[in-house]
Chains A and B, each alone.
Chain A
């Protein structure tokens, strides 16, 4: 199989990678760039554990071939922190105990981040819609929704 050269900006850093045709964005991020915050759950777009922000939109990185997105910008959970300071959304997840086993958390954070980037004042329904593609088997979602609500409120008061 002929490999493909792809340029990506991941967490604001530029990478040139040579990938297999069937290499998913998920594989590139985890195996080549060592960004293991991106989790592989179902591999068929149902659980959202692999959610990243691709050119501003939340997507399942298990459903994108890396060769398709030459020149794109990707944000993963590792990119939420700036200079050792967590994103307010991450702080809110901690404060609201929105994490138990933690497996869904990176995907959940990225779906929430994409929402807040587009809509800084979401209502509860909009939050639920934003995370409807992210399964969490521990928390029952309540704490997660509250965390996202509080991060949104915090943005508003700044």
Chain B
């Protein structure tokens, strides 16, 4: 059984001071939808855990803030709050689409953006769109704050560069022009309470029937969610009515293998990533027409 002391912070200052004190011995909890499962399963990674620091009451971390060219999402925003946000629905609807696929109503009511990013699962539903959008994370410690791109923050499956004395406080998401098309796809074992086998975000502008600034990010196909830059270049400036889907599907599968190498799941995932991209592109094209 994992035993720990409970700590609760009301302010960010209090929280970072506690982390300084208890370095390497404390885990942060907010919604608890990942941590309580790990504790229940007596996960190996929790060795050395002596304290759990609850930050769910820390003021200022629950914000959804509209800035001129970016949205600032506080780490404590729940998936339900993302879904209900009029601002997000209007300016970054891809985040809403992704959040709707997470867990169940109960999990979406507790699980947070900060937790989803910090857990750094390759299958995390919010990370794929955030990578495509070029989001940055904000971290605070007693030494101050630092910001870095999400794509650099996540270093591997369930791994990131957060230091033990830091708290992820927010994610900054650059706005897209509202005429961009967006599409989210998720392959899962059943329709609810399921973790993505593969997920996909496609964002693109379309000018004179051609893809412009197309961004394609896959989750759970590679060790961390990543943009598939080769297939993006292949599609950039392509006429939406002249797509060679066979070629695109083959190349998408190949790009995944180039990044990941051959794995036990490759025979399944290679055709599926291509099919999923085809489905996303066809849905976007249908919207255009």
User: In the complex, given contacts A48-B106, A58-B106, A133-B192, what are 14 additional A-B residue pairs having Cβ atoms less than 8 angstroms apart?
Assistant: A1-B5, A45-B106, A46-B193, A57-B109, A59-B110, A64-B36, A65-B32, A67-B8, A111-B105, A111-B106, A130-B105, A132-B104, A132-B193, A134-B104
B187 CB-CB contact with A under 8 Å: no
Q: Taking beta carbons and an 8 Å cutoff, which residues of A are in contact with B?
A: 1-2, 4, 21-22, 24, 43-46, 48, 51, 57-60, 62-65, 67-68, 70, 111, 114-115, 129-134
The stretch that binds A, out of B37-45, B119-127, B162-170, B263-271, is B37-45
Contact of B191 among A48, A58, A67, A132 (CB under 8 A): A132
In the assembled complex, the CB of A52 is this many whole angstroms from the nearest CB of chain B, namely: 9
Contact of B5 among A21, A51, A57, A134 (CB under 8 A): A21
Residue of B nearest to A111 (CB): B105
Chain A proximity mask over B20-56: 1 for CB below 8 Å, otherwise 0: 0000000001011100110111000000000010101
Determine the distance from Cα of A68 to Cα of B29 in the docked complex, in whole angstroms: 9
In the assembled complex, the CB of B287 is this many whole angstroms from the nearest CB of chain A, namely: 21
B interface, over-half SS: mixed
Chosen A-B contacts, 28 in total, with CB atoms closer than 8 Å, are A21-B5, A21-B6, A22-B2, A22-B3, A22-B4, A24-B36, A44-B40, A44-B41, A45-B104, A45-B193, A46-B193, A57-B80, A59-B106, A60-B106, A60-B107, A60-B110, A62-B36, A63-B32, A63-B36, A63-B107, A64-B32, A65-B29, A65-B52, A114-B105, A132-B105, A132-B191, A133-B104, A133-B105
B157 CB-CB contact with A under 8 Å: no
B103 CB-CB contact with A under 8 Å: yes
Residues of chain B with a CB closer than 8 A to A58's CB: 105-106, 109
In residues 87-118 of chain B, which contact A (Cβ within 8 Å)?
103-107, 109-110
Determine the distance from Cα of A1 to Cα of B103 in the docked complex, in whole angstroms: 32
Residue of A nearest to B55 (CB): A68
In the assembled complex, the CB of A124 is this many whole angstroms from the nearest CB of chain B, namely: 14
Residue of B nearest to A56 (CB): B109
Residues of chain B with a CB closer than 8 A to A68's CB: 8, 29, 32, 54, 56
Determine the distance from Cα of A80 to Cα of B110 in the docked complex, in whole angstroms: 22
Chain A proximity mask over B181-193: 1 for CB below 8 Å, otherwise 0: 0000000000111
In the assembled complex, the CB of A59 is this many whole angstroms from the nearest CB of chain B, namely: 5
Q: Among the interface residues B56, B191, B192, which one has the most CB atoms of the partner chain A within 10 A?
A: B192
Residue of A nearest to B41 (CB): A44
Contact of B40 among A21, A43, A51 (CB under 8 A): A43
Determine the distance from Cα of A1 to Cα of B7 in the docked complex, in whole angstroms: 12
Residues of chain A with a CB closer than 8 A to B56's CB: 68
Q: B192 to A132, Cβ gap below 8 A?
A: yes
Residues of chain B with a CB closer than 8 A to A114's CB: 105
In residues 68-87 of chain B, which contact A (Cβ within 8 Å)?
80
Q: B37 to A59, Cβ gap below 8 A?
A: no
Determine the distance from Cα of A133 to Cα of B104 in the docked complex, in whole angstroms: 5
Residues of chain A with a CB closer than 8 A to B32's CB: 63-65, 68
Residues of chain B with a CB closer than 8 A to A1's CB: 3-5
